[in-house]
Amino acid sequence: MLTLSIPIYEKLPNSLDLRLAIQWLTGKADWIGLRLYQEITHQRGARNGHPDENQVSFDRGVMVEVFHQGHFGYCGTAHLTKAGLELACHQAKQMAEAGAKYKVADFDLSAVRPRSVGHYRSPVFKNLDCETLGDFSETLRLASLKLKVSDQIVNAIANARLVETSIHYVSSDGSDTLQEFLLLGHNYAATAQQGSESQTRSDHGGVASCSQIGLETWDRAEILNRCARIGKEALELLQAPNCPSEKMDLILAPDQMLLQIHESIGHPLELDRILGDERNFAGWSFVKAEDFGQLQYGSKLMNATFDPSVPGEYASYAFDDCGNPAQREYLIKDGLLVRGLGSLESQFRSHLPGVANFRASSWNRAPIDRMANINLEPGSSNLKDMIAQTEKGILMEANMSWSIDDYRNKFQFGCEYARLIENGKLTSVVKNPNYRGVTVPFWNSLKAVGNAQEVEIYGTPWCGKGEPSQVIRVGHSSPHCLFSQVEVFGGVQ
Amino acid sequence: MSLNFNEKWQKHFDLLSSSLFSNLKSEEDLNLNLQGEDSTFLRFNQSMVRQNTRVEQVLLSMSFQGSGRRVQFELMLTGDLENDRNLTSSLLERARSEVQALPVDPYLVPMKSNGDSVREYHGKLPLAADAIKMIAETTAGVDFAGFYTGGPVLRASRNSKGQKHWFSSENFFVDYSLFTKNSDGENKAIKGVYADLNWDQNQFSKQLQSSQNQLSLMSRKSQLIKPGAYRTYLAPAAVAEILGTMSWNAFSLKCFKQGLSGFKKLYEKEKSLSPLFTLRENFDMGLCPQFNQQGEMAPAQIVLVEKGIAQNWLSSSRSEKEYGIAANGCDPEMLRSTEILPGQLPEDKVLQELGTGLYLGNLHYLNWSDVPGGRITGMTRYAGFWVEKGEVVGPIQDLRFDESLYQIFGSELAALTREQHIDPSISTYLQRDLGGRKNPGALLNKMTFTL
Ligand SMILES: [Zn+2]
C-alpha cells in the first residue's frame, strides 16, 4: 500500500551525522553551532471533485553559526558532506570577522548560547505511514464535492498541508537538542456567486486550522459534516445584507481572536522590533522599553501568555534555536504589560525580560525574535452570557482581511461571517463584516472573556518578518471576547 | 580551477536532467525547474551590523506526468551529484506509484517543448566585508536601518520534450530607511532602495544624500489630518505598493472564474477605470525570465487594461484547459514584470498640481477590504506630507485609507506623471524574488482616509 510517508532521506547512503560533523569543525573557530533543519511538506488538494494539487517539498540543510569577537556570522548550506560543511564553516567565519568590526552588540557567548541537551516530539499517535495516499486523496475529493451544496457554489476547495520537521542543534561546547514535529493544517472553502456578488466561507478562515498532532484527528465523516455546513453558510452570505456601518459592541470568535492577538499583541511586543532591527521592513513598535511594568495595555480582564507547552498547539516546542529551554510566561497580566517577546540576544541588548523565541524559518535563515504560541487566557464569561448582555452588537467569525500600521496602532480587520445581536439575541447574518480601531484603547474596551471550556486553538503557518524574510508557524488560542463600542462597517454599497 | 556559481550549477543540472530523462518510460513526461542563488545578506540597525549570512541554495522542482495525472516534487539539491541522483531517482519512482493512486486530472496539459532561451546579466558586486565597510561608513552619523542583498540568482527550465531555458542575474539591492525625530519628538522616516547590477560607491553616496535632504523635510512639525477625503498624490513607490496587492487576484483568469477576483466587475465591463490608465506585463524590462516554471514563454507584452478597459487576463495553460480561454504563459497567474504607462504630468509640477492635499511617498500593509467591491485598505508610511498651495507644510501622522480601486485608478484619477520609476522586487521570502514594476506617480482628486 502506498502511504503518505516518503522516506527518501532515510534511503541515502552516508547520511550526515551532526554529532560527528561538530567534531570535524571544532577548533576552527572560538565557538561553532550547527543546526540541521529537515522539512518535508505535503500539499494535497482537490477542487470541485478533481485533484488540484499534489506536491511534496523536501528541504534539508545546515546553518553554521560561528562566534568571533562578540559577533555571530552565519552560513547556510545544503551540501551536507565533510567538504561542504568545512566550506560553510569557513564562510561563516568570514562573515563573523567582517561583521565584528561594525557589530550592533558585543555579545557575551555564555549569556546568549546556553548549553542544552534534550529531545522533543509532537504528541502524535498516527504517523503519515498510517494513511494511504488513495484514501487521503479520496477524502479531499469527497470534501470538495460536499461543499458544493448548490450550483451557486462556483468553487469548492479542500486541501491539507502536512509538515514533518526535525531540528537538530549541536554546538562545539556540548549543546545537543533534537526536536521532531508533525504538523497538520487543512482548509475547506466554498465560494458562492450570483451576478457580480460572490462570497467565500471557509473552515475558520483560510489558514487557521492547524495543529501539531497526528492523523488520529483525520476523520472523513466529521470532515464531510463540516463541509456541508460551510457550503450552506456560503449561500447564506450570498443572500445576506451588508454589515451596517456604526459603533456597536463586538464579540470576536476565537478564529478571529487569533488574528487580533497576533497583530496587536504579538508583533508589538517583539523586542527586536522595539530595538529597531525591524524598522526597515515590518516596522517599529508603539511599545517602548520603559512601558514594561507600566503600560495598562488592556482592561483588567486581559491576560496574555507566551506558552510553548500547550500539547497540540501549532508552535509548541521545548527549545528555541539557540538552545534556550522554552517555558510559559505572562506577557500581559490583568491588563498590565509585563514581558516582551525577546530572545536571549534581545534580552542581552535591551536588559528586558523575555522568552525562548529565537527561531529561524529553516536552515537558510538566522534566527530572530518570533512569536510562538501567544494565547489569550480564559476568563469567567461564556458566549451565551455575552450575547445575552448585548443590547446592540455583532458576532464576527473567521479572519479574511488584515492590515495594521508599522507601529501596530491603527488596525482594520475583516471577517467572513457575522450575525447581528439585538436585545440580547442573535439575529440576521450579514456579509463583509469589518472593524477598525487602535490597539491600546481597543484592548482597554475588553469587557468579557469566555471561560476555559470555550477556548479554541488555532494558528497559522504564515507569519512573515525579517531581512532576509522568513515565514514561521505560530499558534493562538482564545475563548470568545466581547469589546464595547467598536467601529464596525461593511463592504462597498 | 574552480567553476563559478552559474557554471557549476549549469553542469550539475545538465548531468542530473539527462540521467532523469533517460530513465523515463514511454508515456511518461518530466518537467524540471531550477531556482538558485548564492546570496550575501547583511542587516543593519543604526548603521551597525545586526546579522550577516551567506546562503547557497538551489531548489529543483520536478513535475511528473503519466497516466493522465500530475505529481510535483520539490527538492533542495545538495550539489553532490551522487546524492542528488539518488534522491531524484527515489522521487521518480515515487511519482510513478503516486499517479496510480490518484484520480484522473481532467485539466492536465500534455507536455510539449516550449523552445529554448538563454539570458544572462552579469554584475560587479562587492565582497561582503567591503559592502559592510562601505555601507556602515557611508551611513555613519545618520540613523540608518537597512538591508543589503547581493549575489547571483538563477532560474532554469527543462523538460523531456527538449525544452531548455536559462536565466541568470548577478544583482544587489540596498533597501533602507533613514530615521529622525521631528520637532514634536515623533519618529519620522524616509525610504530608499539602491539596486543595480554594478555597485557604484558614488551613486550610493549620492542617493543617500538625496534621502537625507528629504529627511530634513520630515523634521518639521507634524500636521494632524483628520479622517476624511483629500486630494492626494501617490508617489511611484506608493502606486507600486497598490500593484503588489492587485497582483494576488485582480488579473488572474482562475480567480475571475472562481469568484475570487478583485476586478470581477472590471472584466465583466460593469465598471471601468480611467482612460488615463493602461497597465501591462512587460518582460522587455529584463527583471525576470520570460518563461514560467513550466518553461512556457509569455509574450513580451501582455496588455491587461487599456485606457481603463479590461483587455486580457493572466492565464495559465491549465486555466485554458478548464475554461477554454487562451493561455498567455502566466503560471502562477500573478503580476511579474508590470508597467503602468506614463501620463503627462511632469514630476517637478506635482506639488503645484496637487495644490492643497496629501503627498504620500509610500504605503504599508495593504489588503483587500472588499474583494468583489474592489476596495483596499492600508496605511501611509514614511514620506507623507501635508501640502498647501503647492508648498510642503510638514509631515503627517500616519493615516489609514480604505478606498475602491475603481476610484483610485478610475473616477478620481486626475493625472499620472510623465516619469516612471523602476521598482525591482526585493522580496526574500524563501528565496530572492525576481521581477518588479515600472510605474508613474498618480494624482487623485480625492482619496478616503478612515482612521
Ligand atoms: Zn505575523
Q: Looking at the structure, tell me whether residues B236 and B163 fall in a common domain.
A: no
**Most A CBs within 10 Å: which of B2, B33, B47, B56, as the mutation test of the A interface?**
B56
> Could you tell me if A280 and B145 are in contact, meaning their C-beta atoms sit under 8 angstroms apart?
yes
In a domain, B83, yes or no: yes
What is the DSSP track for B24-81?
PPTT-EEEEEEEEEEEEEEEEETTEEEEEEEEEEEEEEEEEEETTEEEEEEEE--S-H
Strand-pairing partners, residue A486, are A248
Count Cα atoms within 13 angstroms, Cβ side, for A482. 25
B389: left (phi over 0), alpha (psi -120 to 50) or beta: left
pLDDT per position as a tens digit, A256-291? 999 999 999 999 999 999 999 999 999 999 999 999
User: What is the rounded CA–CA span in Å between residue A208 and residue A459?
Assistant: 5
pLDDT per position as a tens digit, B238-274? 999 999 999 989 999 999 999 999 999 999 999 999 9
Q: Looking at the structure, tell me whether residues B199 and B288 fall in a common domain.
A: no
Which of B218, B249, B271 is at the close of a domain? B218
Residue-number span of the structural domain to which B232 is assigned:
228-449
Which of B218, B240, B271 is at the close of a domain? B218
Read off the pLDDT of each residue in B232-242 and give the average, rounded to a whole number: 98
Q: Looking at the structure, tell me whether residues B426 and B321 fall in a common domain.
A: yes
- Out of A54, A406, A438, closest to residue B381 by CB: A406
Angle between helices B128-138 and A82-100 (to 10 degrees): 20
At residue A383, the 3 state secondary structure works out as: helix
Tell whether B368 is within 8 A of chain A (Cβ).
Answer: yes
The interface residues of chain A toward chain B in range 296-325, judged by CB-CB distance below 8 A, are none
Q: Do A98 and B369 touch (CB under 8 A)?
A: no
Q: Looking at the structure, tell me whether residues B270 and B190 fall in a common domain.
A: no
In a domain, B295, yes or no: yes
pLDDT at A41 over 90: yes
Q: Do B105 and A50 touch (CB under 8 A)?
A: yes
Backbone angles phi, psi at B313, to 5 degrees: -95, 170
Nearest chain B Cα distance for residue A214, angstroms: 22
Per-residue confidence band for A12, with pLDDT thresholds at 50, 70 and 90: confident
Tell whether A70 is within 8 A of chain B (Cβ).
Answer: no
User: What is the rounded CA–CA span in Å between residue B93 and residue B144?
Assistant: 52
Which of B197, B218, B239 is at the close of a domain? B218
Gap from CA of A465 to ligand 1 centroid (Å): 7
For residue A192, list chain B residues with Cβ-Cβ distance below 8 A: 259
Q: Looking at the structure, tell me whether residues B187 and B251 fall in a common domain.
A: no
Read off the pLDDT of each residue in B418-428 and give the average, rounded to a whole number: 97
Gap from CA of B51 to ligand 1 centroid (Å): 20
pLDDT per position as a tens digit, A221-231? 999 999 999 99
User: What is the rounded CA–CA span in Å between residue A352 and residue A146?
Assistant: 52
Nearest to A189, CA basis, from A230, A224, A217, A235: A230
Nine cell digits for residue A383: 458566549
The CATH number of whichever domain residue B198 belongs to comes to: 3.30.2290.10
For residue A81, list chain B residues with Cβ-Cβ distance below 8 A: 78, 80
Given this model, what pLDDT does residue A14 score? 78
Domains (ranges, CATH) in chain A? 8-236 (3.30.2290.10), 246-490 (no CATH)
Count structural domains, chain B: 2
Per-residue confidence band for B1, with pLDDT thresholds at 50, 70 and 90: very low
Q: Do A79 and B258 touch (CB under 8 A)?
A: no
Read off the pLDDT of each residue in B135-142 and give the average, rounded to a whole number: 95
Cell 503588489: give the residue: B244
Q: Looking at the structure, tell me whether residues B385 and B242 fall in a common domain.
A: yes
End-to-end CA distance of chain B: 62
Backbone angles phi, psi at A436, to 5 degrees: -140, 160
Q: Looking at the structure, tell me whether residues B184 and B306 fall in a common domain.
A: no
Closest Cα in chain B to A471: B429
Backbone angles phi, psi at A266, to 5 degrees: -55, -65
For residue A405, list chain B residues with Cβ-Cβ distance below 8 A: 364-365, 379, 381, 398, 400
Given this model, what pLDDT does residue B2 score? 61
Mean confidence (pLDDT) of chain A: 97
pTM, 2 dp: 0.97
> Could you tell me if A270 and A284 are in contact, meaning their C-beta atoms sit under 8 angstroms apart?
no
The interface residues of chain B toward chain A in range 147-206, judged by CB-CB distance below 8 A, are 147, 149, 175-177, 179, 187, 189, 191
The interface residues of chain A toward chain B in range 136-155, judged by CB-CB distance below 8 A, are 137-138, 141, 154-155
Indicate the helix (H) or strand (E) that contains B370.
strand B357-370
Q: Looking at the structure, tell me whether residues B241 and B140 fall in a common domain.
A: no
User: What is the rounded CA–CA span in Å between residue B14 and residue B196?
Assistant: 29
pLDDT per position as a tens digit, A296-343? 999 999 999 999 999 999 999 999 999 999 999 999 999 999 999 999
Tell whether A48 is within 8 A of chain B (Cβ).
Answer: no
Nearest chain B Cα distance for residue A431, angstroms: 10
At residue B191, the 3 state secondary structure works out as: strand
Q: Looking at the structure, tell me whether residues B349 and B261 fall in a common domain.
A: yes
The interface residues of chain A toward chain B in range 230-289, judged by CB-CB distance below 8 A, are 275-277, 279-281, 283-284
Q: What is the ipTM of this complex?
A: 0.97
Q: Looking at the structure, tell me whether residues B251 and B185 fall in a common domain.
A: no
pLDDT per position as a tens digit, A348-367? 999 999 999 999 999 999 99
Q: Looking at the structure, tell me whether residues B259 and B336 fall in a common domain.
A: yes
